[in-house]
Structure 1
């Protein structure tokens, strides 16, 4: 979800993610080594919205509203067949990515005070982060290894609410797609 050096791993921080357990065999060793969020308890995932509301603002009414927004969207199949890069970051690219974009747009529209990634980017690109904060040589090595492990296909049927407890990320709730 966030870079460990950014100060965004703090108690009460939340995010909405789509877990991709099918990708774990391909990415786990790299993520454990090169992605601070993996070491903090976040599974292989595509972020729907981060940061979301502070944990103190999430009650049963909020969870019901999240469930309603998420539940309007159908479950879907996706595939990760290629690696992509942002500066210092290696990720897997989902295809199709439209369902992820629609989930992000729907949640951000319902809670406009929580723009994706704090509003830092003009376009949100759905992705599964494998490594971040690394130099090009490390990213090239990881990418070369991953290309031999792809494609990974996944069935997406839910969105998880993750909460940072001050030490690790924990799943607080799961919301089903229709």
Structure 2
């Protein structure tokens, strides 16, 4: 069941912009917020074990409550900005209080991470901090000033292209540093 929950949660996140697009004039904000809150609560047991998971869960549930009680569907579009802000906080604080998030992820698959890799994981964490600043700013600007179509295009497609470029670029760079490419 935890794997199914993880898949459903990820699918909800990926499809969120399209759910907003389709539901903007059809769904009640309170019901939308309830569905989103249920998705987060289903994921809570795993999230509470992850770095920054408590902050993410708390921020998401506060957002859901605000959405439900305000009754304003216009708040739906702030969700990607909120997620970027929370992830920025998690990644940024990990740089200050360590170990950096990318180092933690690397150690999960390679517990005996060489000391030479530590500065690299710190630099990659900084790259992600930059991404979250960029993405949060773009998402906020589109929420405030762009049409729902443009907002959906960015948050439902373009951001995933950017993420793909980041993942592939980092992987290729890492392979180059290791001498594998």
TM-score scaled by structure 2? Answer: 0.28
More helix by share: 2
**Which structure has the higher relative contact order (CA within 8 Å, separation 6+)?**
1
Structure having the higher Rg = 2
